[in-house]
Structure 1
């Protein structure tokens, strides 16, 4: 397991996600303040892959550098705002999610179905009635 590579990949994924969130913020702003620009930006965002945030920014820089710079500014602001909370939230959230999955799994594998209970109940009654007959 290459922890450095995992961290690098996680950072890239987080950067792309923050780019996506920044695009949403900018699009919302543009819809209110400059609807024609908002319409253009929506069409651009729809026709370009937001899965790779860096490729999206590069393509936007070629078309509308003002919007690309705005998205990068919002993205940086979002990163700055969540940086202090992220490590604890990630660790705590992961622990809670794992605990919930384990609890659900344990409940599922230890749960006795109602048909099993009915079958066991009938077997117990059969054994009791056979015991009563033999005495």
Structure 2
């Protein structure tokens, strides 16, 4: 397991997500102040895939440099604001979700075992010691 590569891939995904969120913030700001530019940004975001945040930004720089710089600024602000509590939130949430999945799976396994015993009661009878031999 290459933890360094996993961290790099996770960072790339997180940065692309922050780019997406930054575009939404900029769009919402523009929608209140400059609806025509907001409409343009919305159309651009519909045309260009934002799955790869860096490719999206390169394309945005080619068409509207001032909007690209604005998205960069918002993305950086978002990154700074979440970076303090993200590691602990990631650990805690992962542990909670894993615990919940384990609990649900254990409950399912228990239900399967119980329903199996109920549908085949003769198995339990055979496994009980014969009391007549104690005699």
TM-score by length of 1: 0.84
Alpha-carbon distance in 2 for matches of 1:30, 1:116: 64
- Aligned CA-pair RMSD: 1.7
Compute the displacement of 1:32 (Å).
Answer: 1.0
Compute the displacement of 1:117 (Å).
Answer: 3.5
Residues 79-114 of structure 1: CA distance to partner in whole angstroms, max 9, x if unpaired? Answer: 00000001100000000000000000000011134x
Aligned residue-pair number: 122
User: Measured at CA, do residues 3 and 118 of structure 1 come closer, stay the same or move farther in structure 2, by a change above 3 Å?
Assistant: closer
Moved over 3 A (4+): 115-120
Alpha-carbon distance in 1 for matches of 2:72, 2:117: 60
Alpha-carbon distance in 2 for matches of 1:74, 1:68: 10
Alpha-carbon distance in 2 for matches of 1:103, 1:119: 26
Q: What are the within-5 Å matches in structure 2 for residues 79-118 of structure 1?
A: 79-111=79-111, 112-113=114-115, 117=118
TM-score by length of 2: 0.84
Compute the displacement of 1:67 (Å).
Answer: 0.4
Q: What are the within-5 Å matches in structure 2 for residues 1-135 of structure 1?
A: 1-111=1-111, 112-113=114-115, 117=118, 120=121
Alpha-carbon distance in 1 for matches of 2:63, 2:75: 19
Residues 15-67 of structure 1: CA distance to partner in whole angstroms, max 9, x if unpaired? Answer: 00000000111111111111111100000001001000000011000100000
List runs of 5+ in structure 2 lacking aligned partners: 126-135
